[in-house]
Chain A
């Protein structure tokens, strides 16, 4: 079984992969594996974990007679119960802090704790977004300084900091493109996306009112330049291309693609989800990009937090800069100015509008800037190099056991792509993923990109040691060998997680999305 620790955790597995862990327990717990009920089942509406003055019911009220009299039904817990509830829940999660998290295109790197400390400094954390700018110069300086770094690292002249996440940044970029085209009286209808694009690209283009057409890929996993050139014409507003792409490869022809699109009057959107592979080594601005979003929660290590919050600043070329959304920060002789509706004036009359109520994800800006300053220009270059080195190491150590469709297309960038070819009949990528859970890993990205059957996209990131990679590679090989050999126990994996496979069909057929008191007997 190739396990690094032969003695392993108890309970152990028998030859059939079934748990032989001893008798059932009264509580359903298994020592440190603790079950936890819902707050609605353990709390009560008369219990609270805060000390506040009891409401004076005779005090005058000026709420227009709208008092909320009916029971709300919100359970409370005391502080010790609260801390225990969430601590017990937390132990049912996998996380980067527990181990390698190889989700392709998600860049699950270590989240430095200095970033957390800085974000909590009262001058940043306890600052109102509408406070007079004379009292927020340090915060505006952070936004400006981070923006300058992003511009320099991408080689682009302008940046919009307000988008709230990657998809929001994509939308920002595409709206700027549409605004720019409309401003020159050249409404175009079509946005081209590669087949391998992430689903947000077509969703964003459609949202902005465009028809989406696929660009085919070459057999080696890159955009088919000839097919793209053949499709370009006066109706094409933009192309949206991820670079490095979702097959883990650098688009060698990116500059030629950009030149062809520009020659046809269109604009170039680059999805920056995979910027970690090239940060500090390659500037997208040198490749002819007009707009690119940057996921601060990927490349610049702001925590994923179980699904957000993200942050998606967008860098722009000169052509798109005048159309960037409000608000943004400018530096003048007196300090930093927040340019918004009140202060924009005629100088920014082309701005396409506002994407969010305030100035963006300040709490992510402080973390990202802290990360960038920690690394510096030399450290960031090393980040890209180590990320790419780690991914190539994984690719070459696994290509003999897992089908690697683009292994002959050259080195991969920061992620390695595999497919399910060679698995025994009846076993799938999903089964391998669930087997990996039993090995103590979060699985890689599955079934994406769609261009590879049973795709497995592995992104180790630069914050993994060689020893950690070797152990992961060992686990991956072992599970892959079981999938090839037709090990049926994979089909019922995971065996050792807090839950076995969950019934997603039941969840979707009869959605139960909120707790309801059980009906009386």
Chain B
């Protein structure tokens, strides 16, 4: 077995040192009835690298990779070009095979990277501070609501109808056990986001308002008024960003007064990976730092006065506070944070702005091309790189039909909202710099055919 260095001679010598007659003697505390008498039956035996690669390669080929077809899916996961050096760096063994930096003297590489990552995220989101990452956007969103509750000591969270429905499901699942009151309705097909309804809903019992920006239908608007009203009622505004590239073009939630900004970082550096691992980004105001979930890296000095970095404020965490912890989380998404940080460093502000501008430019081209298709209406007035189109009939069927023709047309609202008949004609279309104008023309042509 290629991964096991011990030889049979080693094993015999070691058993002798231990004073055990055989390996079974080391499992003597396992009750006899729970001991298996050999390798578990019905499973294959070990296999060569070649054989395993062949098997996995065959499974991989049974998928239609995004790069092999005109591709328009978004809804919280976006396909962007990741520079080759990102993957090279995250495969360096010193990053890939390191543990959580609990021994800072021999983990400065990971720690400095995390400090840089936190600084990048804080700036991108327009906030004072960010943590070292969460599992993903959806779990981070729930953690933000929990954090707001610890600050306001109130229990009603108002979710915008434009929040990703899977995020809503995660929140509802958790709230069922914590007793938080969740106020939410599904979206309606309207060109503008639901900010007016949000403003009406805020009162003194409100813990937080959760608004996605751009929202699930791709709509955007100014969050300032919601922030002001929330704060006037001692509630927090939580802004959720599922497409971080957008913040290279549109104002950050922090600049508009959001108290917590949380979201998905997958777009930058991480890749689609069929849904995970992804990267939860989480930022807030300096004054709320001690209520923040997740790991934090901070600057300090060593015994010789040299700058160095450590994990800090760890008394918030489960291994010290046990049942009083701010969250039960004891991991971050370290390698994904590294990928994000490397990609963001390659981009820099100049590259991020250029990337965002290119996404928006192509999205405008696509919106015009699709609006010209008979039977298609573009819902949004404003968007970044994703918008909603409306067709007659069930968009789910159109998506399936187009998939059979090797066009990955987008995410139908019927899949996201199976119980909302009014949304069945909605289709989310996402455009990035990886989308070509040929792809856009192919989508327009095939939609035209499908709707004829």
Contact = CB atoms under 8 A, between A and B. Distances in A.
A490 to B, nearest CB: 14
B310 to A, nearest CB: 5
B404 A498 contact: no
29 contacts: A60-B364, A64-B382, A73-B349, A76-B348, A76-B351, A79-B346, A86-B95, A89-B108, A92-B112, A94-B94, A123-B63, A124-B60, A127-B273, A139-B274, A168-B139, A168-B329, A207-B177, A250-B27, A307-B331, A308-B277, A310-B331, A356-B138, A361-B276, A362-B273, A373-B47, A377-B45, A383-B4, A497-B105, A512-B298
A114 B49 contact: yes
Contact of A128 (B73, B112, B166, B414): B73
Contacts, number: 707
Contacts of B29: 249-250, 252, 410-411
Contacts of A167: 318, 328-331
Nearest to B61: A123
B11 interface: yes
Interface in A49-102: 49-50, 52-56, 59-64, 66-68, 70-77, 79, 82-83, 85-87, 89-98, 101
Nearest to B273: A363
B213 to A, nearest CB: 9
Given A358-B76, A374-B47, 5 more contacts: A111-B97, A112-B3, A170-B328, A503-B300, A507-B312
Nearest to A364: B277
Contacts of A233: none
B345 A77 contact: yes
Interface in A196-228: 198-200, 202-209, 212
A122 interface: yes
Nearest to A155: B40
Contact of A396 (B18, B43, B109, B383): B18
Contacts of B298: 507-508, 511-513
B393 interface: no
Interface stretch (B200-208, B336-344, B443-451): B336-344
Interface stretch (B154-162, B230-238, B354-362): B354-362
B421 interface: no
Contacts of A309: 135, 276-277, 331, 333-336
B220 to A, nearest CB: 5
Size category, A interface: 35 or more
Interface string A297-335: 000000111111111000000000000011000000000
B441 interface: no
B452 interface: no
Contacts of A31: none
A428 interface: no
Nearest to A469: B14
B64 A118 contact: no
A48 B6 contact: no
Contacts of A135: 63-64, 403, 408
B23 A389 contact: yes
Interface in B81-99: 83, 85, 87-99
A459 to B, nearest CB: 12
Contact of B344 (A56, A74, A145, A379): A74
A142 B354 CA distance: 38
Contacts of A494: 105-106
B123 A74 contact: yes
A130 B91 CA distance: 27
A11 interface: no
The listed residue with most A CB atoms (<10 A of its CB), out of B34, B90, B128, is: B34
Nearest to B270: A363
B189 interface: no
Contacts of A152: 40, 42-43
Interface in A352-385: 352-364, 366, 369-370, 373-383, 385
Contact of B173 (A92, A355, A397): A355
Given A108-B99, A122-B60, A411-B26, A62 B45 contact: no
A210 B334 CA distance: 30
Contacts of A134: 400, 403-404
A135 B61 CA distance: 10
A400 interface: no
Interface residues of B, number: 208
B43 A377 contact: yes
B174 to A, nearest CB: 8
B42 A94 contact: no
B77 interface: yes
The listed residue with most A CB atoms (<10 A of its CB), out of B5, B17, B295, B384, is: B5
A94 B252 CA distance: 37
Interface string B44-57: 11110100110111
A465 B5 contact: yes
Interface string A21-65: 000000000000000101110011111111011111001111110
B96 to A, nearest CB: 5
Contacts of A138: 58-63
A100 B310 CA distance: 23
Contacts of A497: 105-106
B33 interface: yes
Given A138-B60, A164-B277, A308-B332, A122 B67 contact: yes
A125 interface: yes
A375 B275 contact: no
A508 B387 CA distance: 44
Interface stretch (A279-287, A419-427, A479-487): A279-287
Interface in B120-143: 120, 122-124, 128-130, 132-133, 135-139
Nearest to A165: B331
A308 B26 contact: no
A198 B14 CA distance: 30
Contacts of A280: 36, 39-40
